[in-house]
Amino acid sequence: MDIKGSVALVTGGASGLGAATARRLFDAGASVVLADLGSSAGAAFAEELNSGAAASPLAGSETGPGNTAVFVPTDVTSEQEVQAAVDAAAALGPLRIVVNCAGIATPGKVLGRNGVLPLETFNRVIQVNLVGTFNVIRLAAAAMAATEPAATELGGEERGVIINTASVAAFDGQIGQPAYAASKGAVAAMTLPLARELARSLIRVVTIAPGIFETPMMAGLPPEAQDSLGRQVPHPSRLGRPAEYANLAAHIVDNAMLNGETIRLDGAIRMGPK
């Protein structure tokens, strides 16, 4: 699918992996809806993207105003707010690309120093990472299914692609990650059944499972801790960069044969117990 001229919805689009992906798609000529919490820097980021659009050779043409970035305050667990984000995307043109990057990584052992893990802590991680992702998928898929198919470069047609974010914790969950691993494992597990169902609507579904990446959550750690984590990656022996996630997302959009798969993006790391 051609990114240029498409409309993309990116959750968690104001920072980290989501912001890098939104920038990558925008720079390739897509209009982008940044769906993130109202407390995020989404409005400022949308303004930044739009202010640079005039300087981009992909931003416009002789016959149209070019692509644009829009921020829509969104809690992915809210049906109304996600629907508003989907509607904002549809107002820009046919929604073709959805990238789910919104998520939280609240740690907690089942039997911690302060007692048993509160059920509300476990529920919150599941609600945001799993239910929130599915909430976006179902509403975005409905909008995609109502669009006219677009021709692909190597033959055939498709209406869109949905890219989800799991984690290597889905497979190598560490001590203190029962909620996070469960939520990300479920995202990986629903990838194939979703791809099989939505195939009839010409919609692809692919999941990326990142390893240890430079994200706002990681930025809270001391530099020495970040360096230590980076050295655990076999090659390249460093933290992953958000642009590398964004490049894979862009390739998934471009490559119509990528469907129903969870792709590890982790430098060959396999996480230890702790």
List residues with catalytic annotation.
180
H/E segment holding residue 262: strand 262-265
* 63: its two tokens: 């016959």
Question: CA-to-CA distance for 229 and 212, rounded, in angstroms?
Answer: 8
* 114: its two tokens: 């302060």
Count H helices, E strands: the chain?
11, 11
Q: Does residue 164 sit in helix, strand or coil?
A: strand
CA angle 103, 108, 109 (to 5 degrees): 140
- The set of residues, in sequence order, having a beta carbon less than 8 Å from that of 35 and lying 6+ positions away, is 9, 10, 11, 12, 13, 42, 72, 74, 76, 82, 85, 102, 136
Contact 22, 32 (CB under 8 A): yes
Question: CA-to-CA distance for 255 and 201, rounded, in angstroms?
Answer: 17
Contact 160, 204 (CB under 8 A): yes
Name which of 1, 21, 23, 28 is nearest 69 in CA terms.
Answer: 23
- The set of residues, in sequence order, having a beta carbon less than 8 Å from that of 272 and lying 6+ positions away, is 174
